[in-house]
Amino acid sequence: MSDIFISHATADQPLAEMVVDLLADAIGVPETSIFCSSVPGHGNPLTYDFNHNMLQQIQNPKLVVLLMTPAYMDSAFCLMELGATWALQLKPLPIVVPPVSFVEVTRTIGFRQGWNITDTSGLESIRQTVLDTLGIEGRGNHNFERKRKRWAVDLQLRLKELQPSPKVPRSEYNQVLEASTLAESRLNLRSKKVGELTAEIKKLQKRLSALRSKRPVVLIAEGEPLIALDLQQIIEDAGCILGGVVRTASELIEVAERVQPDIITTEISLADGSSGIDAVNEILTFHDVSAIVITRTPEALLKGPRPEPVFLVTKPFDPGTLMRVIEEAHGAVMRRRDARP
């Protein structure tokens, strides 16, 4: 049986071959003393049963080199070799290859001193451990130093070729899962809001279509120019016919008599301080119309006579709300007119 058993993953064959060359060429271990299943000349001979020979080789080596790479930690066969090392109380030499950490060494074989393969200053300790364990003299210092420098260069190339583990740490998985769940929740919430908005838009479009088919005439009485412009835009977007825009009660009565509107929107107090409510009450004496009071002071409707029925929209107003009120006001005046003999 061989004195040194190199436990490694098949995917890490190039790195395992470097370890074999380090032991044989740099340190001076006889080639027949090294068993490494994936390196020609150091593995299972032809015609040998692989599993049986592996079992025999790991029975009593003087040193078990554990090449602990990501592929190694993912391999069930490698972990069996690791378990055999522990169960048979063999002498392990853990070689830790990042991103594997020393935590994995502690978790698998206990508090064993290992070597981080990227620490080239530790090669001298590896050399001494091997020579002391095998009881051999090995190669001279000059030869070892020359091989050590070459090892450091070749190692960087081999590490770049290592296969990453397809597994992820549980903590990382949980973080990604939590982020994914949160993103999905936000997406569902946004989808729900989009659905609600889409349904609302369809309702408004349906109402808008109905309004456009009837085309009510709307007269605006508003003392503030900017608000009057907003009202005009909403009324035109609703497909209504704009009968005019006035700023005082006297103008409202005069234009209403001329255009005969279906709907009047008015503020309670107009630009000159005159009452939009009084103007609507006078208009109702000669023309049937629906009144929509758009005001910042709805409580003022409680003072004095008011038109009946009256529709109320409080400033600041929402365009969708105003469209619905226009539809209701139009429907009310049309029903009254249809009910006449």
> Each residue of 50-65: pLDDT tens digit?
777 788 888 899 999 9
In this structure, are 139 and 271 located in the same domain? no
Q: Print the domain residue range for 187.
A: 168-212
What distance separates the 2 farthest-apart alpha carbons in the chain?
A: 126
pLDDT digits (tens, 9 = 90+) for 261-277: 999 999 999 999 999 99
Return the C-alpha torsion angle 150, 151, 154, 157, nearest 10. Answer: -150
Which residues, other chains included, contact 98 with Cβ-Cβ below 8 Å and sequence gap of 6+? Answer: 116, 117, 118, 159
**209-230 tens-digit pLDDT:** 555 456 889 999 999 999 999 9
252 and 269 housed in the same domain:
yes
Residue 133 CB-half CA count within 13 A: 22
Asked whether residue 160 falls in the same domain as residue 195, the answer is no
Look up residue 25 and give its DSSP letter.
I
Phi/psi for 29 (5° steps) reads -75, 130
**Residues 193, 222 within the same domain:** no
* Same domain assignment for residues 138 and 177: no
Domain end (from 179, 197, 212) = 212
pLDDT attached to residue 2: 87
Are both 140 and 42 inside the same structural domain? yes
Q: What is the mean pLDDT of residues 311-323?
A: 92
Contacts of 137 (CB under 8 A, 6+ apart): 28, 131
Q: Within this chain, do residues 196 and 220 fall inside the same structural domain, yes or no?
A: no
- Determine if the pTM surpasses 0.75: no
CATH number (domain holding residue 302): 3.40.50.2300
